[in-house]
Amino acid sequence: MMELFVSEGNPHCLKVLAALEVTGVQCGVHFINHEEKVVPFLSRPALPALLLPSKQHIFSSNTICRYLFELNGPESSDQCNQWLEWEATVLQPALLRALHMAVLQGKGSEVSKVLQSPLNVLDQSLGKGNMSYLTGKDVSVADIVLWGALHPVLFNSSLALSDHKFVKAWFDRVAAMSGCQSAAQKVLQGKGLEAMKSYMQRQPAPQSRDTQPCNSSPVESEEGERVVSEEEMEAAALTWRKDINACSQTTEKQHPIMPKEGMRNVLITSALPYVNNVPHLGNIIGCVLSADVFSRYGRLRGWNVLFVCGTDEYGTATENKAREEGLTPKQICDKYHAVHSSIYRWFQIDFDFFGRTTTEKQTEIAQDIFWRLQKNGFLVEDTVEQLRCENCQRFLADRFVEGICPHCSYPEARGDQCDKCGRLINAVELREPQCKVCKQTPVIRSSKHLFLDLPKLETQLEQWLEKSTSSGDWTANAKQITRSWLRDGLKPRCITRDLQWGTPVPHPDFKEKVFYVWFDAPIGYLSITANYTSDWEKWWKNPHQVELYNFMAKDNVPFHSVVFPCSLLGAQDNYTLVNHLVATEYLNYEDTKFSKSRGVGVFGDMAKDTGIPSDVWRFYLLYVRPEGQDSAFSWADMALKNNSELLNNLGNFINRAGMFVTKFFGGCVPEMELQQEDKKLLAVVGWELQQYIQLMDKVKIRDALKHILNISRHGNQYIQVNEPWKKIKGGESERRRAGTVTGVSVNISCLLSVMLLPYMPAVSQTIRDQLNAPQSCINTMLLGPGSFVCALRAGHRIGTVSPLFQKLEADQIEALKKRFGGQQITASSQQPAVVPAPPAVAEVKTGVGADPEKAKQLAKAVAEQGDKVRALKSQKAEKDVIAAEVSKLLDLKKQLALAEGKSPEPAAQKGKKK
Amino acid sequence: MALRELASLEKYLGLKKPNKYSTQGDKKVPVLQNNNAPPLVGLVTIACHLVKEAKRSELLGCGAEARAVVQQWLEYRVTKLDGHAKEDIKTILKDLNLYLQDKVYLAGNQFTLADVLMYYGIHSIILDLAVQEKEQYMNVTRWFDHIQHHPGVRHHLPPVAVLRNRLYTSRHH
């Protein structure tokens, strides 16, 4: 015996009940709730469901109907099958939308519009054969299924079928069958549409348009395709024809860059990295790299940009480091300033000036601000209780104390700030303080200090903040951190410290003291600019002409939004205050924190030793930029993004476009005759470009990058669909088509090179070199709302095209992950003797042959040999010539692996695999 | 896509003279052009027609019940699998995994057209699964591997390594 499970108000049940009545098959019928689960393996309730005698479940209405008909009759015909498939794949999605409107939204009047197209199909088919039923002169399962599907929308005459007279005649004919009438009564209970309300409410809302099937390429359809209007296409085609040279030409940077009347003058700072720390990837993305991308972008937008940064050099940490290394603080700073410079140079951070805080100008400007604050009555004197470590014989600077946060009880709060709750701390307020150096408990001593009277400046600060945060682009975290600071109420903040290595306090009563680093350091922005140009005040005392962007990680926010602005407001000298405060969240390393001491993570100086190009590093760091939330650096993900986005998406597109020009058109851009499809692509690309500009203007660097990658995805699809490599072999019109597709594609590459410039400056330039693109295109496309113009006109000769990116192999990445996973320092540490236990042997063994110097040379040799092999291959050289060079390459790679302390096996395995 | 599937199916069925196809509409629904009959529209409809043409009706199931099960999965392929939303993928895999727990093929112990078309339809989903996910949906993976190695089925699709390494989905190799 079979059992059929149905529910009231479910239109699909109409079909099966009608089929049951019409065929007369014996079957138990159970009316159950919509949500009841009948089919054991389906997560979502599916009704109707038929339990076969063999205990198998059939859970879709058309198959059930068909089965019921086949039990007593012949197998259903091709025609019948075709109608059933059409019903399930074409009619149902439209019906779902129609019922959604009619039942849930009360928009019954719009139903006919939604159903217009399928009803036309049905009407034409019924009219053509002049048949009574869908497949001939007899009723078939197709009639019952389609009737059941259409009954809810057609049975009351509110939907006029005057345009579809064949459908009307057919529908009335089927509806007149007693089986259908009784099924309709059972399911809808004479309540009409109202009966389906509870069923419809449980259905997922239909898409406004047909969803794109995403199974062909899920990566590509991450975001649904936009619908492009005719107007957009025409506008895009018009832009495309604009003359590139008609647009204004900006000239090369000329130092010193000064604010100019009538231009958008943008002053960009990146938080000053502390000199004696080698910056890790999190530091780099948080400030200098983000600021670099934005300033490069600003220049492309035609703004007058000055980007300054430098090392923050004063403070106890430097003093200590000097003591450790037996150097003077000055020597330490010189040494590490050079380290920083070289790291940023490698990362292609294009500072207009990279200075330092230990300069004459710093003293001059800091003391000037100090005297102004003093004169204006914003400094107060007080005796301070300070922590002194008797064991180390000195007052403990804030960062040399650790203890329990008095606010949130975080056990590892620092003397100046709690990493957990973000609040600033006065070191003596720490519970259970400890000297970080000797772990002894420090004692409290009194000493006279100067305070910046923040409470007195609070009203002014709030007025300014109100204006700045509402008119400028402050990131959400910057606003929130600042708000929480003000909410707690401001307290006077000490600006002096008992140290030697710092800017001396000029006041005679405080001769032995220096300025506290957080009073002093932000002044570094001014003094560094002053070292760049003696006219620095045109930037820093010119709020009406200059817009100031500060880039930093979120832990730096309070100093930039509260403390430093208060210093400048109190000094009353018309300073330029921050307009846009851009703070990132934290970047983690493989789900843990970067840690110099544990050797976990990648530090700036090591990135280049990985052999991965600087541009790829930049790309990935920007791709995972902690924008809005914390993010993590992961080796596996980096390889994935390199291989999928750079190599397969972006690089593949640009390379294909260029290769087509080279191979099919003798290196000259072919004539382009735009058809609708091309214009549509231009419109889509133009839209992505506009999104990119809107996001970049708001410093959404990570989000904007996605739109670049979208463009090359569109481009790849365009090439794939149009197959120029096939069309080029066809007739005249096909060849012309191949030309258009190639020409449009290569122009998209040109646009991509410009959009990429802020992110990957070297690759960007390489693309333009390969395309032999005019430099003027850089200054055209990102102006105003953005315009995708045809920069490479027909006849333009391009340069030599070659691949832009290399695959990151799994074994290579595994090796890097191991190398940077932790303890990499111990491999080269000075105590190799202390390696006793057997389990460590394997590690030690791999470390034994390691020779960084040799590795560097070998890496270079491998790269050169690789180029050689590729060149030979592209020139189609003799097989054995190539083979000989390849074996040389493999040998070099093996040596490199040894020199890097890796076992060479993985490489060998890889060889086997291929 | 559907056309490549049909071409592969023709090869599998050993049909000597290839049929003529075109597509219809935005969704590229396949159309089989017939010289002496009206054209047939729709993947499942055409596939069933080809099976009958090749006189391999056992691939549609033996007996009414088995035929219903086969039709059930063919319908599932074109209604649920095609055009699935991204968020549906997990549900699809979970349900199929449960269903296949005690079965070799979709219709039980017999290889049918349902296996072929479901395999073609689900290929891109499986391709993107990480190894952990493949382990999670072990029954689907086993069935999939079984079908892709069924002689003559795979044709236009790349083989998917069922277990390889833990880092990447197979697409990126």
The pLDDT tens digits of the residues spanning B41-87 come to: 999 999 999 999 999 999 999 989 999 999 999 999 999 999 888 88
Residue B167 — very low, low, confident or very high, per pLDDT cuts 50/70/90?
A: very low
User: Does pLDDT of A855 surpass 70?
Assistant: no
A434 shares a domain with A575: no
Kindly identify which residue of chain B lies nearest to residue A649, measuring between CA atoms. B172
Which residues of chain A are within 8 Å of residue B85 when distances are taken between CB atoms?
A: 211, 214
> What pLDDT does A619 receive?
97
Q: Which is higher by pLDDT, A197 or B103?
A: B103
A231 shares a domain with A173: no
> What pLDDT does A216 receive?
30
Task: Show the DSSP H helices in A100-164 as ranges.
Answer: 111-129, 141-154
Residue A822 — very low, low, confident or very high, per pLDDT cuts 50/70/90?
A: low
Which residues of chain B are within 8 Å of residue A648 when distances are taken between CB atoms?
A: 172
A621 shares a domain with A730: yes
Kindly identify which residue of chain A lies nearest to residue B128, measuring between CA atoms. A218
Chain A closest-CA separation from residue B46 CA (Å): 8
Task: Show the DSSP H helices in A624-731 as ranges.
Answer: 635-641, 652-664, 676-697, 701-722, 724-727
Containing A311, the helix (H) or strand (E) segment is strand A304-311
A641 shares a domain with A623: yes
Task: Tell me the C-alpha distance between A365 and A375, whole Å.
Answer: 15
The residues near A729 (Cβ < 8 Å, ≥ 6 apart) are none
A40 shares a domain with A146: yes
Token digits of residue A744: 């449009």
A687 shares a domain with A642: yes
CB of A470 within 8 Å of a chain B CB? The answer is: no
Amino acid at A150: L
Chain A closest-CA separation from residue B132 CA (Å): 15
Residue A845 — very low, low, confident or very high, per pLDDT cuts 50/70/90?
A: very low
* Boundary (domain end) residue, out of A584, A602, A617: A584
User: In 3-state terms, what secondary structure has residue A515?
Assistant: strand
CB of B15 within 8 Å of a chain A CB? The answer is: no
CB of A857 within 8 Å of a chain B CB? The answer is: no
Kindly identify which residue of chain B lies nearest to residue A72, measuring between CA atoms. B64
Chain A closest-CA separation from residue B124 CA (Å): 6
A323 shares a domain with A276: yes
User: Does pLDDT of A747 surpass 90?
Assistant: yes
CB of B81 within 8 Å of a chain A CB? The answer is: yes
Chain B closest-CA separation from residue A910 CA (Å): 12
Kindly identify which residue of chain A lies nearest to residue B89, measuring between CA atoms. A215
Is A507 contained in some domain?
A: no
Give, as one character, the DSSP assignment of residue A271: P
Nearest Cβ partner for B98 among A41, A63, A75: A41
Q: Which is higher by pLDDT, A119 or A885?
A: A119
Chain A closest-CA separation from residue B170 CA (Å): 11
User: Does pLDDT of A318 surpass 80?
Assistant: yes
Summarised one tens digit per residue, pLDDT across range A13-31 is 999 999 999 999 999 999 9
Summarised one tens digit per residue, pLDDT across range A48-62 is 999 999 899 999 999
CA–centroid distance for A890 within its chain: 36
Q: Which chain A residues in 627-646 lie under 8 Å from chain B, judged by CB atoms?
A: 636, 639-640, 643-644
Average pLDDT of span A192-215: 64
Task: Tell me the C-alpha distance between A134 and A123, whole Å.
Answer: 10
Burial of A355 (0-12, 13-18, 19+ CB in 10 A): buried
> What pLDDT does A484 receive?
86
Task: Tell me the C-alpha distance between A902 and A895, whole Å.
Answer: 10
> What pLDDT does A537 receive?
97
Nearest Cβ partner for B44 among A70, A85, A213: A85
CB of A542 within 8 Å of a chain B CB? The answer is: no
Look at B44 and A213 and tell me if their CB atoms are within 8 Å.
no
Sign (positive or negative) of CA dihedral B22, B24, B29, B32? negative
A61 shares a domain with A117: yes
Q: Distances from the Cα of A687 to the Cαs of A240, A692, A741, A742, A743, in angstroms?
A: 13, 9, 19, 21, 20
User: Does pLDDT of A169 surpass 80?
Assistant: yes
Instruction: For residue A256, say if its preceding peptide bond is cis, omega within 30 degrees of 0.
Output: yes
The residues near A875 (Cβ < 8 Å, ≥ 6 apart) are none
Instruction: Find where tokens 């990116």 sit.
Output: A805
Residue A323 — very low, low, confident or very high, per pLDDT cuts 50/70/90?
A: confident
User: Does pLDDT of B137 surpass 60?
Assistant: yes
Q: Looking at mean pLDDT, say which of A141-155, A584-598, A757-771, A810-824 comes out highest.
A: A757-771
Q: Write A372-378 long-range contacts (CB < 8 A, 24+).
A: A372/A570, A372/A571, A372/A572, A372/A573, A373/A452, A373/A567, A373/A570, A373/A571, A374/A507, A376/A570, A376/A571, A376/A572, A377/A453, A377/A456, A378/A452, A378/A453, A378/A456, A378/A457, A378/A566, A378/A570
* Inter-chain contacts counted by CB atoms under 8 A, chains A and B: 121
Top residue of A1, A25, A63 to mutate, by most chain B CBs within 10 Å, is: A63
CB of A205 within 8 Å of a chain B CB? The answer is: no
In chain B, the N- to C-terminal Cα span, in Å, equals 22
> What pLDDT does A207 receive?
56
CB of A717 within 8 Å of a chain B CB? The answer is: no
Look at A63 and B68 and tell me if their CB atoms are within 8 Å.
yes
* Boundary (domain end) residue, out of A529, A562, A584: A584
Instruction: Find where tokens 């009316």 sit.
Output: A31
CB of B139 within 8 Å of a chain A CB? The answer is: no
Q: Which is higher by pLDDT, A486 or A913?
A: A486
Total number of domains constituting chain A:
5
The CATH number assigned to the domain holding A682 equals 1.10.730.10
Chain B closest-CA separation from residue A903 CA (Å): 19
Q: Which is higher by pLDDT, A566 or A855?
A: A566
Is A830 contained in some domain?
A: no
> What pLDDT does A278 receive?
86
A346 shares a domain with A241: no
User: Does pLDDT of A270 surpass 70?
Assistant: yes
User: In 3-state terms, what secondary structure has residue A715?
Assistant: helix
Task: Tell me the C-alpha distance between A541 and A575, whole Å.
Answer: 4
Nearest Cβ partner for A214 among B44, B84, B171: B84
ipTM of the complex: 0.93
Chain A closest-CA separation from residue B39 CA (Å): 10
**Gyration radius (Cα) of chain B, Å:** 16
A574 shares a domain with A525: yes
CA–centroid distance for A65 within its chain: 49
Is A213 contained in some domain?
A: no
User: Does pLDDT of A500 surpass 90?
Assistant: no
Residue A446 — very low, low, confident or very high, per pLDDT cuts 50/70/90?
A: confident
Token digits of residue A731: 């007739």
> What pLDDT does B25 receive?
78
Nearest Cβ partner for B42 among A41, A85, A212: A85
Top residue of B1, B32, B51, B69 to mutate, by most chain A CBs within 10 Å, is: B69
Q: Which is higher by pLDDT, A427 or A618?
A: A618
CB of A424 within 8 Å of a chain B CB? The answer is: no
Q: At CA B34, angle to CA B30 and CA B39, rounded to 5?
A: 50
> What pLDDT does A564 receive?
96
Q: Looking at mean pLDDT, say which of A129-138, A293-302, B18-27, B131-140 comes out highest.
A: A293-302
Nearest Cβ partner for A62 among B49, B75, B94: B75
Is A831 contained in some domain?
A: no
List strand residue ranges (DSSP E) for A24-174, in order. 28-31, 49-51, 57-58
Is A501 contained in some domain?
A: no
> What pLDDT does B170 receive?
39
Task: Tell me the C-alpha distance between B23 and A83, whole Å.
Answer: 17
Which residues of chain B are within 8 Å of residue A216 when distances are taken between CB atoms?
A: 1, 124
Which residues of chain B are within 8 Å of residue A53 when distances are taken between CB atoms?
A: 65
In chain A, the N- to C-terminal Cα span, in Å, equals 57
Is A824 contained in some domain?
A: no
Q: At CA A393, angle to CA A387 and CA A397, rounded to 5?
A: 40
> What pLDDT does A905 receive?
40
Chain B closest-CA separation from residue A312 CA (Å): 40
Task: Tell me the C-alpha distance between A214 and A802, whole Å.
Answer: 32
Containing A305, the helix (H) or strand (E) segment is strand A304-311
Residue A628 — very low, low, confident or very high, per pLDDT cuts 50/70/90?
A: confident
User: In 3-state terms, what secondary structure has residue A313?
Assistant: coil
Look at B71 and A66 and tell me if their CB atoms are within 8 Å.
yes
User: Does pLDDT of A772 surpass 80?
Assistant: yes
Range of the domain at A276: 257-363+456-489+516-584
Is A103 contained in some domain?
A: yes
- Beta partners for A270? A551
> What pLDDT does A671 receive?
96
A852 shares a domain with A759: no
CB of B124 within 8 Å of a chain A CB? The answer is: yes
Share of chain A above pLDDT 70, in %: 88
Q: Which chain B residues in 41-60 lie under 8 Å from chain A, judged by CB atoms?
A: 41-45, 48-49
- What secondary structure, in 3-state letters, does A770-816 show? HHCCCHHHHHHHCCCCCCCCCCCCCCCECCCCCCCCCCCCHHHHHHH
The residues near B128 (Cβ < 8 Å, ≥ 6 apart) are A218, A219, B169, B170, B171
User: Does pLDDT of A414 surpass 60?
Assistant: yes
Kindly identify which residue of chain A lies nearest to residue B91, measuring between CA atoms. A43
Is A555 contained in some domain?
A: yes
Q: Which chain A residues in 649-668 lie under 8 Å from chain B, judged by CB atoms?
A: none
CB of A383 within 8 Å of a chain B CB? The answer is: no
Q: Which is higher by pLDDT, A903 or A368?
A: A368
The CATH number assigned to the domain holding A398 equals 2.170.220.10
User: Does pLDDT of A575 surpass 80?
Assistant: yes
> What pLDDT does A476 receive?
92
Token digits of residue B113: 């057209």
A246 shares a domain with A175: no
Domains observed in chain B: 2-172 (1.20.1050.10)
Q: What is the mean pLDDT of chain A?
A: 85
CB of A74 within 8 Å of a chain B CB? The answer is: no
Look at B48 and A81 and tell me if their CB atoms are within 8 Å.
yes
User: In 3-state terms, what secondary structure has residue A575?
Assistant: coil
Q: At CA A857, angle to CA A854 and CA A862, rounded to 5?
A: 120
Residue A705's nearest CA partner among A778, A612, A619 is A619
> What pLDDT does A250 receive?
54
Q: At CA A582, angle to CA A580 and CA A587, rounded to 5?
A: 180
User: Does pLDDT of A847 surpass 70?
Assistant: no
Look at B168 and A41 and tell me if their CB atoms are within 8 Å.
no
User: In 3-state terms, what secondary structure has residue A675?
Assistant: coil
* Boundary (domain end) residue, out of A529, A553, A584: A584
**Gyration radius (Cα) of chain A, Å:** 36
Residue A716 — very low, low, confident or very high, per pLDDT cuts 50/70/90?
A: very high
> What pLDDT does B92 receive?
94
Top residue of A80, A117, A215 to mutate, by most chain B CBs within 10 Å, is: A215
Q: Which is higher by pLDDT, B150 or A708?
A: A708
Chain A closest-CA separation from residue B148 CA (Å): 18
